[in-house]
Amino acid sequence: MKQSVLFLCTGNSARSQMAEGWLRHLAGDRYEVFSAGTHPVGLNPGSVEAMAEVGIDISQHRSKSAMEFAATPLDYVVTVCDRAKETCPLWSGNTTLIHWSFDDPAAVADAEGRRLAFRRVRDEIASAIRQFLADRKP
């Protein structure tokens, strides 16, 4: 049986979406992967663009509320921003909570700086996902 992972951020527009894409890409079908937000706002085009640059298509992802997963048994809930950690719902069962803090690339004011921030955060998330997988080798 596959283990399940939920990546959680505030808006489910950037960081959690990229984390979901990376884990699906790097782990294949080893995990059941989801992402959600405490206050979903829609998929950020900057996330889609940054991931496409590395060959990962998240264009069909949609922004989801954490409450959609309230009854879903989860092995891991990974918060990827500090605000999500502070407001993370309680999960029943034997869920392992993990926190990674990534900057919000959408918060960068100018377009070129924002594009660079999306790339930097994308790469930081990739490193965290690779470490997550290395720590859990079958």
The catalytic residues are 9, 81, 88
49-83 in b/e form (b: 16+ CB < 10 A) is ebbeeeebebeebebbebeebeeeebbbbbbbbee
What residues are paired with 31 via a beta bridge? Answer: 3
Spell out where the chain has E strands.
3-9, 31-37, 76-79, 96-99
Structure tokens at 98: 């993990």
